[in-house]
Amino acid sequence: MSYWLMDGASLRQHPSRPFWYDTNGTHQVQHRTHSRPTGKVSNLLVAEDWLFERLSALGTGLVQGILGEGQPVTTEPRTWQEFSQAAGARTNTRTMITPRISTVRNNYH
């Protein structure tokens, strides 16, 4: 997992947990993992105010997209869901870029 957003952000990591704190001791970032029957999920959870402040300091915005990602839902019979999502944020307006695309399609193989 890439932590480029946190590079140079003056965050300190908890010595034994996947938490990061700012210079005031406020919990800003957390790394989470979860295992499920169809695989492992890994997420980086970031406080919204900290995220917009950091993106502004970097002079950038954020766009996230998943197009046609297949994720297994069950193992027998093999069932997949196809996800297509795109969203973004601009630091100057703190609003989501529209329109947000989100579709789910079930596939049975």
- C-alpha distances in angstroms, 91 versus 32, 51, 69, 71, 105? 25, 9, 27, 31, 32
Computed over every residue of the chain, the mean pLDDT equals: 78
What is the per-residue pLDDT across 55-99, written as a single tens digit (0 to 9) for each? 888 888 777 776 777 777 777 777 777 777 777 776 666 555 545
72, 61, 84: which is closest to 108 by C-alpha?
Answer: 72
Classify strands 79-89 and 62-74 as parallel, antiparallel or unpaired.
antiparallel
Q: Is 70 helix (H, G, I), strand (E, B) or coil?
A: strand
The whole model's pTM is what? 0.62
Is 107 or 58 the better-scoring residue by pLDDT?
Answer: 58
